[in-house]
Amino acid sequence: MKRKNLLASGLAITLAAGLGFGFQHVSADDDKVPADTKVNLNQAIDNASKEQAGTVTSVELDTTRSGQAYYEVDVNDDKEEYDIRVNADDGTVESRKDNDDDNDNNKAPQPKVDIKTAAETALAQEKGATLTDISLDEDDGRLEYDVELRTDKDEIEVTIDAESGEVTYTEKESLQDDQDDDGDDD
């Protein structure tokens, strides 16, 4: 019986340490997102749209391991979904891949509000913020844009109704809460 308790305790400690490392790793990656780029979101969308016609359903600003900033733009043309990588410094399209997820239903949703307008609406919620992620999603039969913004101090989540353009949800979380390295959320 003692051996089982010891084994369970060891497993719990290992799992907790692994989760802590995983969360720390995610936070470290988020810190690499650049605050400003030479190419803005609209330019990245335009360049991706020139490469592949269709509905832009998602844009994410990210960095490579070497620190190079890029936009990952998802475009759906009703037949396929494409992942297009746009260099955030010069706007060149670096790669275009078919997103072959074996999903036979590739019909692109047709929102009344386009992704650029949704991005502008979200950015108006927080002066000086950088948009790091925006995606068109369906929730309870409604189309909406889920947007992530970032400032030096905060991470902000914004949800925008893709039919009306209205902000339906915002949440601001301080980045300082996770910077004290004591393992808790204060």
Task: Kindly report the number of other CB atoms within 10 A of residue 183's CB atom.
Answer: 10
pLDDT of residue 68: 93
pLDDT of residue 137: 94
Per the document, the length of the chain is 186
Could you tell me the residue ranges of all domains in the chain? 2-31, 35-107, 109-186
**Which regions in the chain score pLDDT beneath 50?**
1-30
Class of domain 35-107: alpha beta
pLDDT of residue 78: 82
pLDDT of residue 28: 29
Task: Please report the DSSP string for 4-52 in residue order.
Answer: HHHHHHHHHHHHHHHHHHHHHHHHHHHHTS-S--SS-HHHHHHHHHHHS
Task: Kindly report the number of other CB atoms within 10 A of residue 33's CB atom.
Answer: 17
pLDDT of residue 130: 92
Phi, psi of 37 (to 5 degrees): -135, 160
Q: What is the pTM of this model?
A: 0.71
Class of domain 109-186: alpha beta
| pLDDT per position as a tens digit, 154-182 | 999 999 999 999 999 999 999 886 555 55
